[in-house]
Structure 1
């Protein structure tokens, strides 16, 4: 059987338990051989107020270490790594560029699966050359409230058509070919976004709830670096 690799891309500003749970879930469901965290360099859709890449990379490395511990505790053998290709590349970070680079790196036969939440998938049609992604990768999408993909796709006919053309109901299908499929996983519900977390981190009234959102190691890094001290 060909190697199966998961890619978790994102700004990770900051990475939180939602990212870790999503990665943990798909590591088990898809029996990933390897999982790469891929922090973006210049996320062109996120605006100007982004934490510097080096700080986000450091937090992502800390999140990957937490994921390793979580997987080990559940006897999941996925090898976890962080790849800084988008930061190293410079300029705006486009998923299509990373998909091409990863395909070139791993060859034509490896199953490459991009992991994401439903909110990201519903914005897929705004991404650069988004229809070409199926030539290089699969998409595995975890449902996240308040998003109902099936209902909201009706409002985006091009994305709905793309989904219907590439959908599969079986997770195993993603492992048996290299690219081209979209798997909607409705078993995982995660309702925590970095954009809503950053303002909360700047508040002095939420200290006792931080561990609900962040592993201790990431919170310690945030305090050490003095990040998110003003609401964005």
Structure 2
């Protein structure tokens, strides 16, 4: 079973890494693919260039067993639609292997706004990072869609290659890329919010206007 976690990673930080590590361990996943977006269709464009974000992400992934960086969205032209990414991963993995798209709760609640979102379940399960206090869909068509696919136990993820939804409890870490960039804009340190190697590189290169030397 393989996990897929996409994002702009602008920059990568422990709020990205710790939850997906917990998912990988809790669900005994063989690996976790971190997929940086080139042109995110649902959010502002990244502040940092793709090659710099990729460099930071590779440094971060090197610290975690089973983590790897998948560059297919950086190599593809046009918007980085997850349905295209999952379709290409499914073509590589074959029909039988379980793939799990990892989503934060905010991203999951916005799923009906995604491009061809109903096709996602053809290619992968959806595993939602369920932090303490997270809200769930409470009414409407999306709630009904979820009710037909939500699992009672994670064992069901291994019984089919795709098409089911599991809410995985994870540790609440109140870290965001926005808050990291805000600290940097204020001339303050982002150390301990991201892997040390990432912080040192970012500081040394002056990315995001970082004023310190790591």
* Residues 22-47 of structure 1: CA deviation (Å, up to 9, x unaligned): 12101111101121111111112222
Structure 1 residue matching 2:43: 3-state secondary structure: coil
Distance in 1 of aligned mates of 2:90 and 2:204? 37
1:120 correspondence with 2:107: yes
Q: Which residue of 2 aligns with 1:99?
A: 86
- What is the DSSP-based 3-state SS (H/G/I as helix, E as strand, rest coil) of the residue aligned with 1:228? helix
Contact 1:199 1:228 in 2 (8 A): no
Contact 1:8 1:115 in 2 (8 A): yes
Q: Is the 8 A contact 1:30 1:175 kept in 2?
A: no
Q: Secondary structure at the match of 1:211?
A: coil
CA distance in 2, matches of 1:47, 1:114: 21
Matching residue of 2:7 = 10
- Residue of structure 2 equivalent to 1:228: 208
Distance change (3 Å), C-alpha of 1:194 and 1:146: farther
Which runs of structure 1 show a deviation greater than 4 angstroms over 4 or more consecutive aligned residues?
none
Worse overlay, 104-113 or 216-225: 216-225
**Pick aligned residue for 2:38 from 37, 41, 48:** 41
Q: Which moved more, 1:48-57 or 1:30-39?
A: 48-57
Deviation at 1:146, TM superposition (A): 5.7
Write out per-residue CA displacement over residues 177-225 of structure 1, whole angstroms, 9 at most, x where no aligned residue.
1000110123432322212321112222x32xx3331111111121233
Q: State yes or no: 1:87 paired with 2:74.
A: yes
Contact 1:145/1:190 (<8 A) preserved: no
CA distance in 2, matches of 1:20, 1:61: 12
Partner residue in 2 for 1:51: 48
Between 1:45-54 and 1:95-104, the stretch displaced more is: 45-54
Residue 168 to residue 176, structure 1, CA distance change in 2 (3 Å): same
RMSD: 1.7
Which residue of the partner structure matches residue 73 of structure 1? none
- Would you tell me which structure has more helix in proportion to its own residues? 1
Instruction: State which drifts further: 121-130 or 218-227.
Output: 218-227
Which residue in 1 is equivalent to 2:63? Answer: 66
Deviates more, 1:191-200 or 1:51-60: 191-200
Match runs of 1:23-38 below 5 Å: 23-38=20-35
Q: Report how many residues are paired.
A: 210
Change (3 A) 1:82 1:169: same
Change (3 A) 1:48 1:10: closer
- List runs of 5+ in structure 1 lacking aligned partners: 69-78
The 10-residue stretch of structure 1 (111-120 or 195-204) with the greater mean CA deviation from structure 2: 195-204
The Cα of 1:145 is off from its aligned counterpart by: 5.7
**Corresponding residue of 2:192:** 212
Of the candidates 135, 145, 169, which is equivalent to residue 186 of structure 1?
A: 169
Q: Distance in 2 between matches of 1:227 and 1:65?
A: 20
The reply on whether 1:201 has 2:184 as its aligned counterpart is yes
Equivalent-residue separation in structure 1 for 2:186 and 2:132 (angstroms):
25
Relative to 1, partners in 2 of residues 1:159 and 1:193: Cα closer, same or farther, differing over 3 Å? farther
| Aligned with residue 166 of structure 1, among 119, 137, 149 | 149
